[in-house]
Structure 1
Amino acid sequence: MVPGFGQNKKAVELYKKAVDALGNRQMPQALDLFHQAVERDTGYTEAYVKLGQVYEFMRQPDQAFQIYQRAIGQQPDNPVTSLAYQSVSAYLLKKGNYQSAIPYIERYQQRFTPNSLQWKKVDRLLQTARFGAQAVQNPLAVRPQPLAATVQAFPSQYFPVLTADEQTLVYTVLKPEGDEDLMVSTQKGETWSPPVSISPQINTVNNEGTPTLSADGRTLVFTACQGRTGYGSCDLYISHKTGDTWSDPKNLGPTINTRSWESQPALSADGRRLYFVSDRNGGVGRRDIWCSELGDDGEWKTPYNLKSINTPFDEASPFIHANGLSLFFASEGHMGMGGYDLFVADSTSSGWSNPQNLGYPINTSDDQAALFVSANGARAYYSQEQSASDGKQRSKLYVFELPEPLRQKVRPVSYLKGMVADARTKKPLNATIELIDLATNKLVTRVQSDPQTGQYTAVLPTGGEYALYVVGPGYLFKSLSFDFTKKHEGEGLTMSVPLEPIKPTEGGAPAKETLNNIFFETGRYDLADKSRTELDRLVKFLEVNPDVKIEVSGHTDNQGGVANNLDLSKKRAQAVVDYLAKAGVAPARIKSAGYGETRPVAPNTSEENRKLNRRIEWKIL
């Protein structure tokens, strides 16, 4: 930048000395000399621009902004003020003064050839300013509340994640000595318990952070960057909880972890899908979101890049909602309000939907790091940085009710939790819980109960008919039925699941179960197509237990006449036996019986009770 023609000679002399001082990084001296130059010549635009630069170098943005504004005011069309336009625009965007920034960015853009690389960069700033101005004018009703003071026990706490029932909270804390650890707090009535270390197996003298939990809180993936045997700069580790004990964390291996940076994991509710951020080769930008799925062999498959989500800029902190469809993430690349904004995209049959900005004031001109949305879609948890009186950054945990426009974008889910136990001895059992969509016969979720406690949590999607199967070796499987076709709000259910042993104790009654997902038209015995899921389960049970023989029995309510009901019950039971025989079960192992209305399980006094009496049972012979 050359001093302008006709400047005051003394001012020019001071300007040159100031430039030399600036080149030698002698900031206080440069600052003093530039000030002297503009005092000698108040119209010295070049000196004002350089003075603004010095203030920026000295990290005094407010002073730089005022000086740059003065330079622009003096000579708005002079090429020397390009830097001033650039800095004023960036300052106003950072402050969230979007409307004020627009005219500066527009004037700045006029200095470049349309559609040139620099013009496009400035155009992105302009789009950000216009988007931000529009968002601020249309704020969402968001009223964040800090979580209980008991939880905020450290200088900083961040990256909160919760179980599906919102009773367990795991988060990263920064201790005064600079160590990052994972802490856990549990809901006791209306309050949170004081946080405790998640486990001595997990927390070390090195840093552990950015946790993610399965819906039942029994699978944990977290990031560690030093102190453990790894593959790259930061790796992902997994631990499983049995009873109250977490297993020694295992590195997720070379399929997930590379020589590059892997961090910010997000598990699906059933723990069978893992999203994470990596700067490995093959991405769209530098830091991208990747996804891997757990194979039936227990190994993680090769991760794939979420190409329609990622941008040439950085993406961060993915979170997959318990519904398995809504992916929340932070991005610098999608249109937002500057820096990292939070977005949501939905998984559809044709791929990911176009990411939607979560809007103001969830997003602001500051960076937004991460968001956790409860399973029922009602609340969102996050952390927010604040400057403390000592000038250091502090981070606290907050929660807010999800505003209606966002709640409509998040399909809520229910959860089913409880305990699986032996129906006779009440001993807790290790069982597999599988949820099947009856319309598609596809597995929606699969979880295990805790071998020590029998506890389980399974996520139940809303808006459909589902069968839930609880299976344990040596036991009859339990089938449950859930019709959420008319259900919209996610509500939690608690249900203990007693399993009947195939071989009861000496003198005990034979084990029997109801097939809750066998469907017939009223008064008919043709098996509805959606009964296949249940029938195939029974076929599989008989294959796994080749010595077992069963009786399939039909039962009705008291509507429609005794003789008709008896006949209908026999035909329905026979329809099931015919299906089993056609599937390859030896006829000698299966027999049918019809008992009509003679063995009700409830008084026929209501439609709900009559529905319980219209059933197909199976028992061990």
Structure 2
Amino acid sequence: MIVGLAVPGFGQEALSTSNKKALDFYNRAMENFAQRRTEETIQLLNKAIEQDTAFTEAHLKLGQVYEYARRPELALQTYQRAIRQQPGKPATGLAYQFVGTYLLKKGQYGQALTYLDKFGTFFTPQSSQGKRVERLRQTALFGQQAIQNPLPVKPRPLPAAVQAFPSQYFPVLTADEQTLVFTVLKPEGDEDLMVATQQAETWSAPSPLSERINTPRNEGTPSLSADGRTLVFTACNERNGLGSCDLYISRKTGTEWSAPQNLGPSVNTRFWDSQPALSADGRRLFFVSDRPGGVGRRDIWCSQLGNDGQWQTPFNLKNINTAFDEASPFIHANGQTLFFASDGHIGMGGYDLFIADSTATGWSNPQNLGYPINTADDQAALFVAANGTRAYYSHEESGDVQRSKLYVFDLPASIREKIRPVSYLKGVIADAGTKKPLGATIELIDLETNKVISRVQSDAETGQYTAVLPSGGEYALYVNVPGYLFKSLSFDFKQKREGEGLNLSVPLEPIRSAGRETLNNIFFESGRFGLAEKSRVELDRLAQFMEQNPTVKVEISGHTDDRGDAAANLELSRKRAQSVVSFLVKAGIGPERIRSAGYGETKPLVPNSSEENRQQNRRIEWRIL
């Protein structure tokens, strides 16, 4: 963070020259500057310096005028001459400030420290200005250390086919990295949202996201759910807006996006609300706002989607935000890792990118992502792939015309270690017989805590879905459609694993013609029939299904592999089935609606030729009677 300090203005002070001509040019320069005649002021100050090259105050004033005229290189040279003439004079403080902060902005940290160290001697350490100088020093020290320990980062631009505009920025992708949405600045000054898709590692040319979303006004900073079917974006100066910039939401069904809806007064205010970051399941929304009640000027806030489908009152991320500005939050698909930009946390100058993790007691202490991800330039935003291997961003090129391109780089190991990678599961939900696509509810539940980790809907027109699967635990996935048997799937990610995608289409059986379904999340200890505690998730779902379908009667059947005595296996399968029946009865399901059966090893799903196959054969099934 580079800040300006209070420095002397163009007031009168004792001057270091007795040369009358120099003083005359100097005084005339002050009169011209009071009337904002910049060029005349510069000419007169240069003439004063020609009369007396040791006229330090003339050098200082000329440096100030060059600052005012936005000629930083000339200001730098002029201030450095003033410092060389009178290095210890307090009046040169403004020169030390400019040179130190200028070199800091240029990433010349070692040189900046020389000037900042001297500048700091003009203030007491506990004064407000002394603290600001120390903050600049800490920035220079951090930048110097970061450059000495660079990360192995090699950015590469996305293919030219994607970069069809002079300026494209704020890239976001779906969990499978096959769909890319970003903001473009058109030559006429209009910001719109564009989309490109990838097939066989080839990116398409971008096309407008939707006529319902893009307007002659500005739309930008998009954020997508993992399946790419929920979009939150920023639009400014809209007729139905509540403030200067508001957040809007649109949902995709089939190939069509819905008309954007303002997120309403629970999220938007009469102040500036922008830069959304939607969680993978679309149920948490991070964004930036300058509304009152925050920690700093622009803070990161978070709103959660209630069970009633309404966004709740946002809360401030108080141990993330600083007294300065935060920007561009991005919540990783794992739902735990937050990336954001800040000019408040110590970095390399300007906005740096940081990472923090959600913990039981709040967010962890933000960590700087390091060099060369961060530099002395502002770093706007970062999107990290679900599997934690790649990061996407935009880089603004220097020049008179605004130009920026999209880039991708492989995350170095030191950062990947901080990110819990996730897998994604995608496919199509359809009727098992007719193949008709179904709009299903897909829920991922932690088997240890019985908590819903994510809840997504498949597309009602296409049946397509994408669900995020975290690593490091055991999870049950449930697919539900009214009038159909629910489908349960089991995923054991207790061992650390790299995130990778899984394709799984799920056929659902209508209740009226249903066959057998395996309950994939019923667990027993080896050779025993007592239900493991983590079976409760599945059993609760089965009980809920029977409550919702009060005329349905079911058979619960137990099955084993071929290891051990056949008669013992038969008895074990019967007892296991009966354990499930007993649970359902205790849950309030009438015993007349449930029948148990044990088949032992007589009905294997697959040959008992491997441990993996035997595991499939050890199961509990259910079917409609």
Q: Provide Cα deviations, 1:289-329, integer angstroms capped at 9, x if missing partner.
A: 00000011101111001111111101111000000000101
**Contact kept in structure 2, 1:466 and 1:481, CA below 8 Å:** yes
Q: Provide Cα deviations, 1:234-263, integer angstroms capped at 9, x if missing partner.
A: 111000000000000001011001111110
**Contact kept in structure 2, 1:286 and 1:314, CA below 8 Å:** yes
Three-state SS of the structure 2 residue aligned to 1:415 is strand
1:512 is aligned, of 508, 513, 516, to: 516
- 1:439 corresponds to 2:448: yes
Structure 2 vs 1, CA of residues 606 and 286 (structure 1 numbering), >3 Å: closer, same or farther? same
1:20 is aligned, of 16, 19, 31, to: 31
2:342 is aligned, of 323, 331, 349, to: 331
- 1:461 corresponds to 2:465: no
Aligned to 2:19: 8
Q: Any residues of structure 2 matched to 1:16-415 within 5 Å, and which?
A: 16-388=27-399, 391-415=400-424
Aligned to 2:577: 573
Deviation for aligned residue 1:425: 1.2
**Contact kept in structure 2, 1:243 and 1:451, CA below 8 Å:** yes
Opposite residue 553 of structure 1, the aligned amino acid is S
Structure 2 vs 1, CA of residues 572 and 116 (structure 1 numbering), >3 Å: closer, same or farther? same
Opposite residue 580 of structure 1, the aligned amino acid is L
User: Structure 2 CA distance, aligned partners of 1:228 and 1:511?
Assistant: 55
**Contact kept in structure 2, 1:11 and 1:38, CA below 8 Å:** yes
Q: Provide Cα deviations, 1:568-589, integer angstroms capped at 9, x if missing partner.
A: 0000000000010011100000
User: Structure 2 CA distance, aligned partners of 1:555 and 1:118?
Assistant: 76
Deviation for aligned residue 1:5: 4.5
User: Structure 2 CA distance, aligned partners of 1:25 and 1:61?
Assistant: 18
Opposite residue 544 of structure 2, the aligned amino acid is K
Give me the CA root mean square deviation: 0.9
Deviation for aligned residue 1:114: 2.2
User: Structure 1 CA distance, aligned partners of 2:546 and 2:606?
Assistant: 29
User: Structure 2 CA distance, aligned partners of 1:276 and 1:95?
Assistant: 30
Q: Provide Cα deviations, 1:412-443, integer angstroms capped at 9, x if missing partner.
A: 10000000011111111110000000111111
Opposite residue 359 of structure 1, the aligned amino acid is G
Opposite residue 500 of structure 2, the aligned amino acid is E
User: Structure 2 CA distance, aligned partners of 1:612 and 1:56?
Assistant: 75
Aligned to 2:593: 589
User: Structure 1 CA distance, aligned partners of 2:91 and 2:18?
Assistant: 15
Aligned to 1:560: 564
Opposite residue 570 of structure 1, the aligned amino acid is R
**Contact kept in structure 1, 2:287 and 2:329, CA below 8 Å:** yes
Three-state SS of the structure 1 residue aligned to 2:215 is coil
Opposite residue 609 of structure 1, the aligned amino acid is N
Q: Provide Cα deviations, 1:75-134, integer angstroms capped at 9, x if missing partner.
A: 101122111001001110010001111111011010012201111111111111111111
Deviation for aligned residue 1:227: 3.2
User: Structure 2 CA distance, aligned partners of 1:429 and 1:149?
Assistant: 38
Q: Gaps spanning 5+ residues in structure 2: where?
A: 1-11
Q: Provide Cα deviations, 1:139-190, integer angstroms capped at 9, x if missing partner.
A: 1111110111111111110000000000000000000111100000000212
**Contact kept in structure 2, 1:419 and 1:428, CA below 8 Å:** yes
Opposite residue 603 of structure 1, the aligned amino acid is P
2:485 is aligned, of 469, 473, 476, to: 476
**Contact kept in structure 1, 2:17 and 2:55, CA below 8 Å:** no
User: Structure 1 CA distance, aligned partners of 2:101 and 2:510?
Assistant: 70
**Contact kept in structure 2, 1:7 and 1:44, CA below 8 Å:** no
**Contact kept in structure 1, 2:16 and 2:56, CA below 8 Å:** no
Q: Provide Cα deviations, 1:460-487, integer angstroms capped at 9, x if missing partner.
A: 0001110000011100000000011114
Aligned to 1:599: 603
Aligned to 1:422: 431
User: Structure 1 CA distance, aligned partners of 2:462 and 2:601?
Assistant: 39
Opposite residue 526 of structure 2, the aligned amino acid is T
Three-state SS of the structure 1 residue aligned to 2:241 is coil
User: Structure 2 CA distance, aligned partners of 1:221 and 1:15?
Assistant: 57
1:614 is aligned, of 600, 615, 618, to: 618
User: Structure 2 CA distance, aligned partners of 1:406 and 1:571?
Assistant: 50
Three-state SS of the structure 1 residue aligned to 2:512 is coil
User: Structure 2 CA distance, aligned partners of 1:113 and 1:616?
Assistant: 75
Opposite residue 142 of structure 1, the aligned amino acid is V
Structure 2 vs 1, CA of residues 452 and 5 (structure 1 numbering), >3 Å: closer, same or farther? closer
Aligned to 1:501: 510
**Contact kept in structure 2, 1:3 and 1:46, CA below 8 Å:** no
**Contact kept in structure 2, 1:431 and 1:449, CA below 8 Å:** yes
Deviation for aligned residue 1:7: 3.0
Opposite residue 83 of structure 2, the aligned amino acid is I
Structure 2 vs 1, CA of residues 525 and 367 (structure 1 numbering), >3 Å: closer, same or farther? same
**Which structure 1 residue ranges, 4+ long, deviate > 2 Å from structure 2?**
1-7
User: Structure 1 CA distance, aligned partners of 2:199 and 2:27?
Assistant: 69
User: Structure 1 CA distance, aligned partners of 2:586 and 2:18?
Assistant: 101
Three-state SS of the structure 2 residue aligned to 1:612 is helix
User: Structure 1 CA distance, aligned partners of 2:310 and 2:16?
Assistant: 73
User: Structure 1 CA distance, aligned partners of 2:534 and 2:556?
Assistant: 19
User: Structure 2 CA distance, aligned partners of 1:419 and 1:387?
Assistant: 46
Structure 2 vs 1, CA of residues 5 and 577 (structure 1 numbering), >3 Å: closer, same or farther? closer
Opposite residue 73 of structure 1, the aligned amino acid is R
**Contact kept in structure 2, 1:317 and 1:369, CA below 8 Å:** yes
Q: Provide Cα deviations, 1:368-404, integer angstroms capped at 9, x if missing partner.
A: 110000000000000110024xx21211111000011
**Contact kept in structure 1, 2:17 and 2:52, CA below 8 Å:** no
Deviation for aligned residue 1:2: 3.0
Opposite residue 315 of structure 1, the aligned amino acid is E
Three-state SS of the structure 2 residue aligned to 1:71 is helix
Deviation for aligned residue 1:6: 4.3
Three-state SS of the structure 2 residue aligned to 1:503 is helix
User: Structure 2 CA distance, aligned partners of 1:20 and 1:124?
Assistant: 36
Deviation for aligned residue 1:57: 1.5
Three-state SS of the structure 2 residue aligned to 1:409 is coil
Structure 2 vs 1, CA of residues 65 and 5 (structure 1 numbering), >3 Å: closer, same or farther? closer
**Contact kept in structure 2, 1:182 and 1:209, CA below 8 Å:** yes
Opposite residue 415 of structure 1, the aligned amino acid is Y
Opposite residue 517 of structure 1, the aligned amino acid is N
Aligned to 2:3: none
Deviation for aligned residue 1:12: 1.2
**Contact kept in structure 1, 2:16 and 2:55, CA below 8 Å:** no
Aligned to 1:507: none
Aligned to 1:540: 544
